[in-house]
Structure 1
Amino acid sequence: MGRMVDADGVELWVEQRGEGPDVLLVAGLGDPAEAWRSQLDGLADRYRLTAFDNRGAGRSPLPDGPLSVAGMADDAAALLRALQVPAAHITGFSGGSFIAQELALRHPGLVRSLVLMSTTARPDPYFRAMTRFWNWMVERAPDERAVLEAFYLWIYTPRAHADGMVDRFIDEALAFEHPQSTEAFQRQLAAFAGHDTLDRLGGIRVPTLVLAGELDLATPPRLGRAVAESIPGAVFEVLPGEAHQPFQEVPEVFNARVGAFWREVEAPAAGRATRHR
C-alpha cells in the first residue's frame, strides 16, 4: 500500500517494497508509481525500492506556477530525507532520468549510483518538435484513448503493438483512478523539454549506467551515448530490439541488468567491510 509523504512541504505519493539497499525509482512524463510495478515486484527480494508520483502525476497534486526539472529533483531529495534514506541507488526513466541527473548534481550526497534509462542531456531539434506535437495532441485528439494510441507510438516497440501489450497498457491507463490532467501533462512536458545538463554532467562522480533502446524514437541511442560520454566513468549500453520503455516491455532483462550493476556498486563496500573485520 502506498501513502502520502510530506517532502519539505510538497505532498508526494509513495510506494515502497522490499528490504536491502535503497533504490529510488524516478518516473517519466505522466507516469505514476505503478509504472514501476515489475521492478517493485521483481527486485524486492534484494532491495528496498521506493517509487513515487512526481508533482502533477498520479496522486501527487499539481502546484501553482511552472514546473522545473531542478525543482522536481529537489522534491526527490526532500523525499529521501523525509523517508530517512541517507543515500540511494537512483534509477530514472526518460523525464525521470533528467530529474536523476539534476538530483546527482544538486544533491550528490544522496546518490550512490545512477541508472539513466532512455535519456538525454540536451533535447535536440527532433525532441523539441516531438514535444511540441505532444503538447497540442493532448488538447485536440478526439478522446483519451486516441491520445494514448498516438503517444505510445513513440514509447513501445512494434512487437508490443502487435502482440497486444500496448492495448493492455492503454486499458490499464484508462482504468487508472488518478489520470493526469491535460494541464499537468503540458506543464511536465514543458519542464522536460527545457532540460539541459550537458555542460554540467562532468560533475557527476558516482557510478553511472546509461541504457538506451536500439529502436527508441524519442531518445535514440546517440543521445544516451552523449550523456555517458559526459559523465566520468559511465557505462553505456544499447538494448537490442527495444524501444523507449524496456523496463515495462522486458522487465526481466532490465531487472537483471540493473541488479547486476547495483551489485557491482555494492561490492567495493562489502569488500572494505570484510577487510576491516
Structure 2
Amino acid sequence: MTFNTTNTIRLLTMASLGGLLFAVGLRLNWKLVVHSMKGSRLGWILLINFLLVPALTLAVTFGLRIPTNIAVGMLLLAAAPFAPVVPIFVRMAKGNMALAGTLTALFPFFSAFLTPLVCEWSLRPWLGAASLKFNILTILIVLLSTITLPLTAGVVFSHYFPAMGRKLLRPLEIISEATGAVSLTFVTVVEFETILSTGWKPLLAMVLVSELSLLVGYNSSGPSIEARRVVALGTSNRNIALALLIAIQSFPNTSIVAAVVANGLVLIFLGLLHVGFWRFCTSTGHRA
C-alpha cells in the first residue's frame, strides 16, 4: 500500500471505530458497567486470550506447516485479543452490551504489557534468537486513546447529558457504520491481491483458529447466552491495529505486515457471519 492509501484507511477506520465506540458508551451507564463484571470470569477470559489462543495458533501453524512470515502474522493477531469492533458486533448479535464495552475498555491495559510477552514466547520457535522491538508506552497510549477513551467518554457524556446523548446516538451510529462500511470495502479492494496471494492453506488455518477460539470462548463464559456471545466474539476477533503496530515496529517493510492485514480481514468477515447467525437465532427464538 502507498503512504496515501495507508493514511486514508487509517483515518476512515479511526473515525468509524471512534464514533461507534462512543455510541456504545452512550448506551451504557456506570451501574451497568459495574454489574456486568460480577461473575464475568475475567481471570479465565484473560487466560484463554493470552495463553490458550496463542498456543492453539502456534500448534495450527506448525501442524499445517504455514510459511514463516504468514505464521508470524497469525501469531501477532493471536497475541492481540478483543478487537475494538467487538462491542459493535455484540450489539448486532444481541449480546450483553455492558459486558462487551467493559471488557473491550479493560483489555488495552492488559494488552500493552501481556501482548509483547506473548509475542516473545510464541514467535521464538519461528524467529529463534532474533529480538522483537516493542514500545510498551506507545502501545498503551494508542490503545487507550482509540478504544478506552471513546468508550469511557460515551459513558460520561450519557451520565451528564442523557437527553442529548439519546438524540446523538442513532445519527452517530448511522454515520459511523457507513464510514466503517466504506473503510472495510476500501481496504478489501486494496488488499484483495494480498489475500489471494496468501494461499488457501494459510487462510484455512486462520479460519480454523478463529472458529476454535470462538467455541472455546463461548463454552467458557458462564450460563448466560448474551455473555457467551461477548466472550466468543472477543476471543475470535483479534485486534488488527495492535498486531499491525507490533508488526510495523518489529518487521517493517516485510510481508509479515501484509499477512496481518490479510488474516485480519478474514477474522472480520468471519465475525460478520457469526453476527448474522446469532441475529437469525434471536429472531427465530433459537438460543445459541
Aligning the two structures, in what range does the TM-score lie when normalised by the shorter sequence?
Answer: under 0.3
User: Normalising to structure 1: TM-score of the pair?
Assistant: 0.27
Relative contact order (C-alpha < 8 Å, sep 6+): which is higher?
Answer: 2
Structure having the larger proportion of residues in strand: 1
Structure having the larger proportion of residues in helix: 2
